[in-house]
Structures are given as structure tokens and as C-alpha cells.
Structure 1
Amino acid sequence: MTREVRVAVFRPDDERLADAVELLDSLGATPVPDPMLAVEPTGAVPDAASYVVLTSKTGAELLAESGWSPGAATLVCIGPTTAEAARTAGWTVDLLPEKYSSTGLVDLLADDVAGETVAVARSDHGSDVLLDGLRAAGATVEETVLYRLTLPEGAGQSTVMAASGDLEGVCFTSSLTVENFLAAAADRDVRDEAVAGLNDAVVGAIGDPTRETAVANGVDVDVVPDRADFEELACRVVEAAAPTHHD
């Protein structure tokens, strides 16, 4: 008989979490949903600019709901999920970086934005790498905080499971999910035990920034997918966490 593979996922409590649970279930794992992020919209929208940069599906959807439009701006999206949300809103996506990260966006735009105004629309936890890189390339950069990311009340049951050795895998989808997981563990006085439990499990990070945050906090990372894609992350975590023997 194959041992149960329990995999925690920390996505916001919306269709992303529902889709993650469905995916993990289809892979034969037991999903442990524990939202570590809540989205609080600010109502802000970017001003007119030569370039508008969107860094998340959430941001694109909030702007669409507000009635905002990029107008004549060159619309840049960090990756295919954000681009899909922008196209669903009826906008033309002009540019996508090869690498779906702040560094990839800077590499994409650096040669073209000198003297231009670039509006960066994102959450309150965006990396300074993007802003600093675009300014170094000669752009005037205006950041618009579309939403704040907070730790939901009551989050953290998965930290107790980790501390008890009851998780076989976890899927961290941003640096903030790592930080909030550890904060929730600390609130329950199980931080050290939870980290030890993670290090006995298969830890997946969706990209290098998330991996670096985990490692900096004493968490060993076993899986980083080639693409910053949740489905690929989940598949690799389940594959690595699945027992290779039968009792």
C-alpha cells in the first residue's frame, strides 16, 4: 500500500487555491490548503505612461475591474498568466520577457526606456530590482500599488502539521508565502519545529527569489521548476515526495 503524500499549498483563497487543490488531487496527492496571502485592493490605477508593466494576474484583473485601460501605452506583462488576464480584459500585450522575473523585465526594456515614463503596477511587496533597473536604464519610473498582500487571520494550520512531521511536501509560490508561513509558525510557537519538518519534507519554490528567501531562513529547497509555473512546481514536488516503495 502506498503511503499518503500530503502537500501544503499557500495560494490566496480564490480560484487559484481551488485550482491548486484540484491539481494536487489529480496527481494523487492529498492537498493541504492553507492560504498564506490575502489580497486587499487599494483602488489605485496607474497614470498615463509610455510603458505600463503588470507583474501579476491579480493586478491585471483588478485594473480590468476598475475600468482602466492601457490606452496607447506599450503594455508589458511579466509572464503568460498575467498576459492571459490582460488579454481577457481586451488589452493587447506588446511585450513579454524571456525570463519571468524582475530581472527579465529589466533585461527586456533596458535598451528602450531611456527618457520614457514607465508605470509599474503591482502589489506592495514588489522587488526594488525592477524599479532600480529601469531607473538605471534612464527611465522615469512611477510605481502604483494596486493591492496589499497580508497574512489571513487563522492561517497556519500547515505549520503545525509540518512541526509534527505530517507533511510530505510544500509548494511555496512567492517569497511572501515563505515569510508568512514562518510568521504563522512563530505565532504558534512552533517555528523551529516547523522548519525541521520542512527539511524532512520535499520543499518546492516557484523561482530563485522564493528559493533564496527560504534558504536564508534555514529551509532547504529541493525543487525549483525551470519555469515559474505552479503546475510544473506541483508536479515536481509530488513526484519527488511520492514514496518509491510499497509497504
Structure 2
Amino acid sequence: MKPTVAVFRPADERLREAVDLLASLGVDPLGDPMLAVAPTGAVPREEAAFVIFTSKTGVELVADAGWPASGTVCAIGDSTAAALRDHGYPVDVVPSEFSSSGLVARLQSEVAGARVEVARSDHGSDVLLDGLNDAGAYVHETILYELTRPADSGVSAERAATGDLAGAAFTSSLTVEHFLAAAAERGVREAAIAGVNDAVVGCIGEPTRETAEQAGIAVDVVPSEASFEALARGVVERVRDR
């Protein structure tokens, strides 16, 4: 019987692609949609000197709204940068470290006195806003979409609680939080944590690792490349090693 690896993505093509990738790697994928995207209809201000995007989802929403590129366009991560290019937008800055702190470090010598627009979800880290403000920028945040937990999510928490997971791939801090909330809702929070700690746990980056570890989840895999493919391959490889 193939080992089961849980993956947490929005219930759209990202979850389908993640499930297909895990299946191609020889495991039994368990897709649990821990995120649902609710667009706000807002678009970034056009007079900013710098415009920052933090996700592929945000890029797709502004492209659908017909937002005209303006200022220096910044992307946190290769997938966000690729989405911008796919929609015909320029990409001027991608930090070498794909994180809020990495982008702050990249821009801190350039943004003093400048208007900076941060376009992202309602669950963005304060690290980005605080860091840019401390660097002297005039920062405005536009909430492009809200992230909620689908009502039918949580089967992975039940499977973890019964010891049926060989691996779990967390793609953001919010997927960790929603996994734990779903487990608590079902009355299996402690058992689910114990279950994933007996499995291979992968996190897509350091902020996600920190969230997991603060909740008592031991993290085994954090890929050097912040992409789902790298995360999935890292988790599956460790599962096979066990």
C-alpha cells in the first residue's frame, strides 16, 4: 500500500496540480483544501513608486481587474514573479530570500521617502509593513483577497489523529493554523499533532516552520527553494527513507 501524504492548497487548480504531482512521485495524495480565496475587488494604488506582490493569487486578481503596471514592481518568490510575467507585467525586484524580511533587506536602502504599495491577502505578515516603515517609506496596504477555511476541510486532521499519514506538506503559516483549527473542531487536536509528529512534516519556508514548531509540530523538511514542487519532492524523499 502506498504511503499517504496530505497537502493543503486552495480548492482550485493548485490543489489538483499538487495532488497530481504527489501521485506522480509514487505516494497516495490526500488533498485537503485548507484555504478558500474571497476577492475583495480592491486594486493597488497607481501613484506608488514601488508595488509589492506576495502571491500568484494576488497577481491573477489584479490582472483580471485590468490593473495597469506602475512604479517598480516587486515580487516575493519565483512563482509570484512568473505570474506577473505571464500576465505581461514587468518584474523589477525579486529578493534572493523569498520572504518579507528578505524583501525588506533588498529595498531598505531605496525606499526612504517613497510611496510603497503592498498588495496581498488579509493574512500578510507585519514584518513587511513594519520593515518598510522603519526604512522611511510611506506604506499603504491593499487587501486584494481574504483567506478563509473551507467548511469541509479537516479530513487530514482525522487521518493524522488515527496515525494514517506518512507525510504532510504545509504551504503557509495559515495552512498550519487551519489544520489545527480543523483538528480542534473535531476534538482531535492533540492526537493530530502527535500523528503528524510521527509522520514527515514539510514546510515551504522558515515562517511556516516557525508557526508549526510554535504549535508543537516537529518539522523535518524545509526546501531551499520556496516552491511546492521542491517541498513535495523533499517530503516524499524523506518518507521513502523511512
Tell whether the structures are fold-level matches, with TM greater than 0.5.
yes
* Superposition deviation, residue 153 in structure 1: 1.1
- Show the counterpart of 1:191: 189
- Among residues 196, 201, 204, which one is paired with 1:203 in the alignment? 201
- Show the counterpart of 1:227: 225
Aligned to 2:91, the other structure's residue is in SS state coil
| 1:156-210, Cα deviation, whole Å (9 max, x unpaired) | 0111000000000000000000000000000000001000000100000111110
Contact (CA 8 Å) 1:5, 1:238: kept in 2 or not?
no
- Show the counterpart of 2:119: 121
- Among residues 149, 152, 155, which one is paired with 2:150 in the alignment? 152
- Show the counterpart of 2:67: 68
CA RMSD of aligned residues (A): 0.9
Aligned to 2:117, the other structure's residue is in SS state strand
User: Percent sequence identity over matched residues?
Assistant: 60
- Show the counterpart of 1:54: 53
* Superposition deviation, residue 36 in structure 1: 0.3
Equivalent-residue separation in structure 1 for 2:191 and 2:208 (angstroms): 21
- Show the counterpart of 1:141: 139
* Superposition deviation, residue 4 in structure 1: 1.9
| 1:119-142, Cα deviation, whole Å (9 max, x unpaired) | 000000000000000011110000
* Superposition deviation, residue 87 in structure 1: 1.0
Q: Which amino acid aligns with 1:63?
A: V
- Show the counterpart of 1:215: 213
Equivalent-residue separation in structure 2 for 1:182 and 1:190 (angstroms): 9
| 1:209-241, Cα deviation, whole Å (9 max, x unpaired) | 101101110111111111111111100101111
- Show the counterpart of 1:9: 7
| 1:39-94, Cα deviation, whole Å (9 max, x unpaired) | 000000111200000000000000000011123x1100111111111111111111
Equivalent-residue separation in structure 2 for 1:69 and 1:198 (angstroms): 44
Contact (CA 8 Å) 1:170, 1:237: kept in 2 or not?
yes
Equivalent-residue separation in structure 1 for 2:205 and 2:221 (angstroms): 9
Listed as ranges, the matches of 1:162-181 within 5 Å are 162-181=160-179
Aligned to 1:242, the other structure's residue is in SS state helix
Once superposed, which parts of structure 1, at least 4 consecutive aligned residues long, lie more than 4 Å away? Answer: none
Aligned to 1:152, the other structure's residue is in SS state coil
The aligned length equals: 241
Unaligned runs of 5+ in 2: none
Equivalent-residue separation in structure 2 for 1:69 and 1:20 (angstroms): 31
Equivalent-residue separation in structure 1 for 2:11 and 2:152 (angstroms): 12
Equivalent-residue separation in structure 2 for 1:180 and 1:64 (angstroms): 28
- Show the counterpart of 2:42: 44
* Superposition deviation, residue 243 in structure 1: 5.5
* Superposition deviation, residue 5 in structure 1: 1.2
TM (normalized to structure 2)?
0.98
TM (normalized to structure 1)?
0.96
- Among residues 70, 75, 78, which one is paired with 2:76 in the alignment? 78
Aligned to 1:12, the other structure's residue is in SS state coil
* Superposition deviation, residue 111 in structure 1: 0.4
Q: Which amino acid aligns with 1:159?
A: A
Aligned to 1:8, the other structure's residue is in SS state strand
- Show the counterpart of 1:110: 108
